Amino acid sequence: MKVYVIGLGLIGGSLALDIQEEFKDSTIYGIDINENHIKEALELGIIHKEGALDSLNEADVIIISVPVDVSLDLTKKVLDTISENTLVIDVGSTKVDICKSIEDHPNRRNFLAAHPIAGTEFSGPKAALKNLYRGKTNIICEVEKTAFKLQERALSIFSKIGMRIRYMDPKSHDKHIAYVSHLSHISSFMLGKTVIEKEKNERDIFDMAGSGFASTVRLAKSSPAMWTPIFKQNKTNVIETLEEYILNLQQFKELMQQDNFEEIYKEMENTNHIKQILNGILLDA
């Protein structure tokens, strides 16, 4: 199986590692605009060979793992060049725009829109991890528009690397992911910004930062080059989640101003229910 991975960062690189582990006969080709990423991916064994866009017609599977704004034009160019038996998988974090952009493409049946819900705050080939996707959820959108035999190929790959599959329409995906992923990143970036600005005047503040702060602000180390296009593409949903989040923060602030700590206790106690929800998700995994 010839697999071409376009974009050799955390997501694409981790997929490359897991595919070559589970499919011993596979050859992994890497394509990246950054020549250093190609070199690192070869040295780390993430890919076997450097690939080229003009040889994509030889691929059995092409994985597009680039910033979501780049993916819009790139995916159409990829679909222009493939053979009729090539499976093209986009793994970006937004799905409405990418699905709309290729909806009338002659090779739409070769395309599968997927979003593996996995990752870390790190980027580049060195961030790639084996078994990153084991036990994780993979959202697939508009599966009915992909040729059945190519669906089977994709599901075989996802199953062997240990992913759980959920099906969702692009609009629902983008709305839900704004709450559970995009808002988390914004919160982390803004918490980091708040503390950095305060640290300018109080140099000792980071000496007091414990594991709670570190885990909360962890996502602020994520790549702006990746996340700015995500926020742009999912702007409407992100603004809606921000409005709700800001309202909750404002209400919490007002309770503090009113010395209403009994109500603050109740708010936190009610929110503790999230432990049961998350534990249930982990048990299902």
Looking at the chain, which residues constitute the CATH 1.10.3660.10 domain(s)? 173-284
Q: Torsion over CA of 45, 89, 131 and 152, rounded to 10 degrees?
A: -120
Residue pLDDT tens, the chain, 285 long: 999 999 999 999 999 999 999 999 999 999 999 999 999 999 999 999 999 999 999 999 999 999 999 999 999 999 999 999 999 999 999 999 999 999 999 999 999 999 999 887 788 999 999 999 999 999 999 999 999 999 999 999 999 999 999 999 999 999 999 998 999 999 999 988 888 777 766 666 666 666 677 777 788 888 898 999 999 999 999 999 999 999 999 999 999 999 999 999 999 988 887 766 666 544 444
Which residue from 83, 82, 84, 144 is spatially nearest to 113, judged by alpha carbons?
A: 144
Written as six digits, the tokens of 246 are 């800001």
Q: Which fold is adopted by the domain 2-170?
A: Rossmann fold (3.40.50)
Residue 193's pLDDT is what? 87
pTM for the full predicted model: 0.86
CA angle at 28 for the pair 6 and 163, rounded to the nearest 5°: 80
- Asked whether the beta carbons of 88 and 75 are under 8 A apart, the reply is yes
| Closest C-alpha to 93, from 116, 75, 110 | 116
d(CA 236, CA 174): 10
Residues of the chain with CATH 3.40.50.720: 2-170
Cβ(120)–Cβ(129) below 8 Å: yes
Looking at the domain that runs over 173-284, which CATH code has it been given? 1.10.3660.10
With a CB cutoff of 8 Å and minimum separation 6, the contacts of 164 are 135, 136, 137, 138, 285
Structure confidence at residue 125 (pLDDT):
95
Q: What whole-number percentage of the chain has pLDDT above 70?
A: 92
CA torsion 145-141-126-8 (nearest 10°) is 30
Q: What is d(CA 17, CA 129) in angstroms, rounded to the nearest whole number? A: 7
Output the pLDDT for position 49: 97
